[in-house]
Chain A
């Protein structure tokens, strides 16, 4: 059988995997028109297409909520598991043991990850499961029609809900203190940055947390709300511009580096992420620095975007387990059932 097949009569615009962008698309979205989540789905399609990643090598995961519906809207050719509210991390953790060569792409929301799923969220971070973990963060529960989520800022007013009396949870901070190895924030209204960060996240061997502020056009898009387009556009403070350079494009690096204000970060797969610092030499390898800039941004009401923290030295979860080269889900009885003579050994071990 053929290793990878384009879905249908591909003629032009194929990538190095021989696939068209169509091969990366999903079913038509059923989310609201103008929803930031749709824009993110599009960037997922584009990023994977441009990176020449075969859809069969990706597994999609999600929990419950508007964001968690979105895996239906991209990568038709990838397996996917739309699991339970707040439980995407555990499903993904187990599933990726099936074939550790696969890359996970998970889409969750602020309710799914920061409220009901906070426990599992933090534990998948510390386990360094090999997946991109996207939080489509809008500060509100959409499917249940507009309740505050745990990331909504204090004092935010919503129709029917009144004023939010609680302090918010910062997803990037939570990821960082849980020892995540890749922590980034972006804004759905900045598709170029979303795409570049997605590419960097896909190259990362381990958990890559990507908190994307994705305004809810229906329930939380007042001009003064943190998770709104207007606010986001006015207050976005990129840490740095980010360019993703695939391994085969490495030759281009020299041109990019010309202005001298760049920092290269080598990823496991040989690709390079280039960070262009805007104001100061931001060090993505420093947890303390990441904490400091996040704290500063919070105090100044900045929406800090970019790659906040990166550690490429930690092994991912499945590699800790020293698994056989063959995917576990292709092992057969001969690999899995001890030989008949071992039963005597076992019985001899008993009293």
Chain B
């Protein structure tokens, strides 16, 4: 049998609430510590205890670790999902199962390994009876470790980390792993091709989830106020702030430089955060789609009242019940136009946990500079799953507190200032905040009905002037938001545009398109709205641009069609959202389904010639620019390690 080394998936089917996450994380972390690029994704139901849940791990020597549909190794621990789990194993795959599940094995095209989980755990005198189910999960870790070559030392260090160096639980769990190994050594014969071998591809990397990264980034951004309300999958972001703020912002006098308030609902969560932002604090909230719906009125007010605040939206599917624990990129258009009347939001789109950290602190700088709500759109996959990342980097720019006037400034201006006066021509006024003791510093904040000096007015002319300034401010934001990342291929003929957590799937699809379909593509990952000039250049370069996103209607495509109507005929929407993280398969198939061979495209291009004149002229320039910035894509665990940020 040909060995398959460091390129397969492991899926564990368990019962929700059975404590399998320790076991699954142990496998994930051990593979990571072996130097092999790996990802782990928890596919869980909206349930505390009882329903089936799956954890999928993908190890890939080339660094392609996006979600993968093919199930090479399946471990079945749940009677209720046993039949489904057995059927899901790819031909030639391996199936491990707890032998207390008395259901028949109906496949002969796969390797089947029963495991006496209950017997092994019962025989361990060190495991108290009420811990048996929990620790019993370590049996499959041990059996699997022996069968595929998981390094025992790395398993130990994973447990050591998980149990925060507490010897008793470490020993209890590790002994069960060892018992699993011993049993497998004697009783199982290897009949599948899957093997792990140590590599050096994760050296110097860390593992973290996006919510924790976002929280840590926010702390390095100097967060001072957090108003929040629990909602899956955003809850752990606020909870991480509660965990890490006391450690990282510890002072000798024991006093606090921050406050975290759990509000009564999302309306109050954003209301408090806006109040604090208005009062001069670095203020934030975290939520998901349904919470954002409730925050809409306040978000609109903050846009018009020009209050800096950071709003994290860890996206998931749908309102109410349904698929609240499944990932999505479904809030983009909603967020971009949130609030009533005309409004356009500044949105940051982190692509991985490294950027969750980076945008965590940057978001405050942008919010205070532009004096507007800044939305950070992450998603459940990025927020709640463990991702490999470069180590977090300390902020490389000092805090930008924006345009603020203190007492001495007002004194210098002899009190002559206007909150909404566009003194610098960038649409951004100067602000003061409560506590300023100068008698001429105050103003009364309200929605749209104010003049340049914040005095109440309902005059049409003044309203129009204000609206134009807000529009200008949105243009100004382009100079402050992060530029996109280009993953280029020499000689690319079409463009792919994506954002957020789909990057690894798109990189893999890009590779497959080149190798298997001889289609070379340039991939631009947008990292913010409004679009920076790099996006203009990219869109002008290609006759076909595939816009890849995890939703039904192609929301980024909708926004780009509005912002760049001249390029709209070239857009091909590859949108798909079923709650699963993006996979290379649907990206590749989605692109191929809409790809038109060169000749046909030229005809279409000729028909729309007038609209395309300008872009064609720019094409040469941007192509030259692109070749000067030649970038090779080699997707490894840290997908950006060999690509350039423009």
* Contact surface of A with B, Cβ cutoff 8 Å: 1, 3-5, 7, 23, 27, 54-56, 59-60, 71-72, 76-84, 87, 89-99, 101-102, 119-120, 123, 318, 321-325, 327-331, 333, 335-338, 340, 342-343, 346-347, 350-351
Contact = CB atoms under 8 A, between A and B. Distances in A.
Contact of A82 (B258, B407, B444): B444
Contacts of A102: 434-435
B280 A338 contact: no
B257 A324 contact: yes
Interface string B107-148: 000000000000000000000000000000000000000000
B339 to A, nearest CB: 11
Contact of A97 (B29, B158, B249, B259): B259
A331 B435 CA distance: 13
Contact of B398 (A93, A94, A333, A351): A333
Interface in B420-435: 432-435
Interface string B385-403: 0100101111100110000
A324 B280 contact: no
Contacts of A89: 268, 271
A331 B224 contact: yes
Interface of B: 29, 32, 158, 161, 206-208, 216, 219-225, 227, 244, 248-249, 251, 253-259, 261, 263-265, 267-283, 297-298, 301, 305, 386, 389, 391-395, 398-399, 407-408, 410-411, 432-439, 441-447, 456
29 contacts: A27-B456, A59-B279, A79-B432, A81-B446, A84-B301, A92-B275, A93-B227, A93-B275, A94-B225, A94-B273, A95-B275, A95-B434, A98-B279, A98-B433, A98-B434, A101-B435, A323-B257, A333-B398, A336-B282, A337-B221, A337-B395, A338-B220, A343-B220, A343-B393, A347-B206, A350-B206, A350-B389, A350-B391, A351-B161
B612 to A, nearest CB: 46
A337 B222 contact: yes
Contacts of A1: 407-408, 410-411, 438
Contacts of A318: 259
A322 B386 CA distance: 34
Contacts of A4: 437, 439
A201 B399 CA distance: 39
Given A82-B445, A120-B268, A97 B392 contact: no
Nearest to A101: B435
Contacts of A120: 264, 267-268, 271
A329 B433 contact: yes
B415 to A, nearest CB: 9
Contact of B263 (A54, A72, A90, A325): A90
A72 B456 CA distance: 9
Nearest to B225: A97
Which 4 residue pairs spanning A and B have beta carbons closest together? A98-B279, A94-B275, A90-B271, A336-B222
B433 A79 contact: yes
Contact of B279 (A83, A97, A335): A97
Given A328-B257, A333-B222, A347 B392 contact: yes
Contacts of B253: 324
Nearest to A326: B257
B444 A71 contact: yes
A351 B257 contact: no
Contacts of B256: 321-324
Most buried by B among A1, A54, A325: A1
A339 B394 CA distance: 9
Given A4-B437, A97-B281, A90 B161 contact: no
Contact of A79 (B32, B276, B277, B434): B434
A105 B50 CA distance: 51
B245 to A, nearest CB: 10
Contacts of A79: 432-434, 436, 441-445
Nearest to B219: A338
B227 A94 contact: yes
A91 to B, nearest CB: 4
Contact of B255 (A324, A342, A347): A324
A95 B227 CA distance: 12
Contacts of A338: 219-220, 248-249
B263 A95 contact: no
Most buried by B among A60, A346, A347: A346
A166 B377 CA distance: 44
A82 B301 CA distance: 10
A98 B281 contact: yes
Contact of A90 (B227, B248, B391, B393): B227
A329 B434 CA distance: 9
Nearest to B157: A351
B301 to A, nearest CB: 6
A50 to B, nearest CB: 19
A253 B255 CA distance: 39
Nearest to A78: B442
B233 to A, nearest CB: 19
Nearest to B279: A98
Nearest to A340: B394
A337 B435 contact: no
A343 B502 CA distance: 27
Most buried by B among A76, A84, A93, A336: A336
A27 B29 CA distance: 65
B373 to A, nearest CB: 14
B435 A99 contact: yes
A329 B249 CA distance: 16
Contact of B259 (A95, A321, A331): A321
B442 A351 contact: no
B257 A123 contact: no
B437 A94 contact: no
Nearest to B409: A1
Most buried by B among A93, A324, A350: A350
A324 B439 contact: no
Given A59-B434, A84-B298, A337 B392 contact: no
Given A79-B445, A89-B271, A338-B220, 10 more contacts: A1-B410, A91-B271, A93-B268, A97-B281, A98-B280, A120-B268, A331-B224, A336-B223, A343-B220, A350-B391
Contacts of B275: 81, 90-98
A98 B435 contact: yes
B276 A97 contact: yes
A55 B222 CA distance: 30
B265 A324 contact: no
B264 A123 contact: yes
B257 A335 contact: yes
Nearest to A80: B444
B435 A330 contact: yes
B276 to A, nearest CB: 4
B221 A94 contact: no
A56 B298 contact: no
A290 B17 CA distance: 48
A300 B28 CA distance: 72
Contacts of B265: 119
B264 A119 contact: yes
Contacts of A56: 436-439, 441-442
Contact of B276 (A84, A94, A343): A94
A72 B457 CA distance: 12
Nearest to B224: A328
A5 B254 CA distance: 36
A351 B399 contact: no
A181 B273 CA distance: 25
A52 B351 CA distance: 55
Nearest to A324: B255
Contacts of B220: 337-338, 343
A329 B29 contact: no
Contact of B439 (A77, A323, A333, A350): A77
Contacts of B435: 98-99, 101-102, 327, 329-330
Contacts of B456: 27, 72
Contact of A77 (B227, B255, B442): B442
A337 B271 contact: no
B271 A99 contact: no
